[in-house]
Each structure stands twice: as structure tokens, then as C-alpha cells.
Amino acid sequence: MATETLNIKVTKTKESKISQFDPNNISFGTVFTDHMLVADCINGEWQTPEIVPYGEIAYNPALASLHYGQSIFEGMKAFKNEADEVLMFRPLENFKRFNISAERMCMAQVPEEIFINGLEELLKIDAAWVPKGEENSLYLRPFMFASDVYLGVRPSQNYRFMIIMSPAGQYYATPPKVKVETEFIRSAEGGVGYAKCAGNYAASLYPAKLAAEQGYTQLLWTDAKEHKYFEESGTMNVMFVKEGKIVTPKVSTTILKGITRDTLLQLAQSMGIEIEERQVSVAEIIEGITAGTVSEVFGVGTAVVVSPFAAIGFEGTDYKLAEINENSVSNKLKKALNDIRTGKIADTFGWVWKV
Ligand SMILES: *Cc1c(COP(=O)(O)O)cnc(C)c1O
């Protein structure tokens, strides 16, 4: 049956897969909810978005995005509070960043009513899929790709925007050992580092594979010019704790402007922790770890919230970091953010968005 809500055409599945979903045994990115959102932009005109049963999409082999990579995405999460209400976290920030990525990749801008209302309607329909529990969430993946059937290199005239959703569970990973990358780069000034475009992730796989062969789980990217300054870690922003202060690379066109990064910096300030956004050199951190002034290094992003590192590998030597405990800065920040995101403590920042 098809119904019209908020200018979204909804066709519900005849058979929900929810009974096959075990919230106590979630394997990230493999299970998808019953529905997905699809909206096409045809020659600059957005068509009525549709919510349809989750399923495959068929395309012509000359699909432009497959050949030239006009493809972008966002990563966000929805939570359920004690009252069973579904909450999103700062979704407007993801919406804005999506269109910043779209502009850089010369793609169509997505209207707010399609992105935000689309998320809301989809979450209402698949609310049963938002798992409860401390670190459980529903991972939301809005994405868009060029849908012209054309082999010439030019901006596509047609785009498809979609949202799919996948339950995410507890993140069990033990603190990773990360390698300071001094040969390959993730991004350079004038490039696309600040955009969440598909190609950035493809380009990072080979250096990450080489590092994995050397026993490192993750990379710490350095600047493209000199490999002297830290930029990011894998697909996370990076923070250091030096003499009790949080030190983090200042965002620029070579760094993706993480919403978790921004959130944690605001939270830290509200907790009375000093922050410094500036260039952070590899030498400063290696010396600091050796001298005992740098006590924590951690990645921050939607997927893990906070991921403390066990050691940093630089030019063949591993510099070990102390284990995280209750009083660690990263632990306090993670707890505060989780409590706000799940509605456990009052949100004085206006970050939580009730669906
Ligand atoms: C998505 C992403 C981040 C983290 O951004 P959040 O908004 O915090 O999830 C950081 N770096 C890269 C390269 C990313 O793709």
C-alpha cells in the first residue's frame, strides 16, 4: 500500500525481517532495516522521495559514478532512550557537511526536507530496529551518487540520494597500535580531504594494508608536504592529551571536520579541560610520550566515539601509551557524550534531536 506523508511516498514491506534481528549479537554493516529512502535528482529537479522495502538496485554498466567516482556519504547514528524515544545527534551538521562534500564533487545539493525529513520518516517506520542499550545504536548512512548513463568525463546531470540503516552494537576492539604514515598521504591542500567522498576511502586502503602487514591496526596521517604534522587517524580525527590539556590539529581543507571532534571539544571546555587547536608535530608527540608529558592519544568519530591508542609506531619504534582508566580524559569525554546522546543526562547544548 502506498501513502503520502510529508511529500514522501511510502511503500511498506509485506514481510518485516525484524524477527531475524538479534540486538545482542550485532555484526556491523551486514544487516539492514526493512526500508530505505530513494530520491532522484533529474536534470536539477528533485523528484518525490520514496521509502521502499530495502533491496537491490539495478544499474546500467555505464553508470557515471562507477567510472569517475562522483559519490559521497555521511555516517550518523540514532539512539533509543529509556522512554523508547528515538534520538538523532546533531543531524543538521551532517546535512550541512553532506552539501559541502556535494559542492566539492560538483554534485547536486540535497534539500534539507529530503535529507532531514527523509531520515525522520525512515526512522519512524523502522523505529523497532533502533536497539536499546549503552553502546547500541542504529547507524544511518545517507549517500549520493552520479546516476548518468554516460562515459564522458563531466559532472553528471542526474543523481540518486539514498538512506540505508544498519544496527550497530558494542565496539569490542582493544586499543589499536597505530602507525605514523610518512610515505603515503590521505589528502593535500587543494584536494578533497575535507569531503566525505568515496575515493578518499579507496585511496586509504593500500597504505592501511601495508601497515597491517607490519602489525598496525590503523594509520596516523601526516601532512602531504613534509610528513611532520599530524592530520587524522584512519577515518577519525585525532586528539592528544598533553599536560592535562587536549591538543588537536586545527581543521583545514586537508582534514575532515568531524562532528564528534567539535562535540568533544565543546564538552571538554564545559568540563573545564583546556583545549588547543593548532599544528601538532610528530616530534612534539613522540618527545612527549618519551618524557611522560603526553599521556593519551585517541581517535574520535561517530563510529567509535573515542578510540584510545595503545601505541604509536614511528620509524620502526613503538611508543607505548599508558592504559586508559576511569580518570583518563578520553574516558570522561566518552562517558559524557554517550550520556547526552542516549538522553541519560540533560542536553544543555541542543544537540539531541527527538524523532
Ligand atoms: C567521518 C570522518 C571523520 C569523523 O567525523 P564525525 O562527524 O565525527 O563522524 C573523521 N575523519 C574522516 C576522514 C571521516 O571520514
Q: Is 93 exposed, middle or buried (0-12, 13-18, 19+ CB in 10 A)?
A: middle
Question: In the chain, what are the domain boundaries?
Answer: 2-168, 177-341
pLDDT in tens, 24-81: 888 889 999 999 999 999 999 999 999 999 999 999 999 999 999 999 999 999 999 9
C-alpha 320 to ligand 1 mean position (Å) = 25
Q: To test ligand 1's pocket by mutation, which of 89, 196, 232, 236 has the most ligand atoms within 8 angstroms of CB?
A: 236
Give the predicted TM-score (pTM) of the model. Answer: 0.95
C-alpha 133 to ligand 1 mean position (Å) = 24
- What is the number of the ligand 1 atom nearest to the C-alpha of 232? 11
Give me 275's grid cell: 583545549
Domain 2-168 has CATH 3.65.10.10: no
Same fold, 2-168 and 177-341: no
pLDDT score of 20 = 87
Low-confidence ranges of the chain (pLDDT < 70): 1-6, 172
pLDDT score of 316 = 95
Q: How many other C-beta atoms are found inside a 10 Å radius of the C-beta of residue 215?
A: 10
Q: To test ligand 1's pocket by mutation, which of 302, 305, 337 has the most ligand atoms within 8 angstroms of CB?
A: 302
pLDDT score of 4 = 47
Please name the residue whose Cα sits nearest to atom 12 of ligand 1. 235
Please name the residue whose Cα sits nearest to atom 5 of ligand 1. 258
pLDDT in tens, 157-204: 999 999 999 999 877 678 999 999 999 999 999 999 999 999 999 999
CA–CA dist 108, 218 (Å, integer): 33
C-alpha 28 to ligand 1 mean position (Å) = 17
pLDDT score of 2 = 47
CA–CA dist 343, 171 (Å, integer): 20
Q: Sign (positive/negative) of CA torsion 251, 255, 257, 260?
A: negative
Q: Is 76 exposed, middle or buried (0-12, 13-18, 19+ CB in 10 A)?
A: buried
pLDDT score of 1 = 42
Give me 277's grid cell: 587547536
User: Which residues, judged by CB distance below 6 Å to any ligand atom, belong to the binding site of ligand 1?
Assistant: 75, 196, 232, 235-237, 256, 258-261, 301-302
* CATH superfamily name and code, 177-341: D-amino Acid Aminotransferase, subunit A, domain 2 (3.20.10.10)
Residue 63 φ/ψ, nearest 5 degrees: -55, 120
pLDDT score of 82 = 87
pLDDT score of 133 = 81
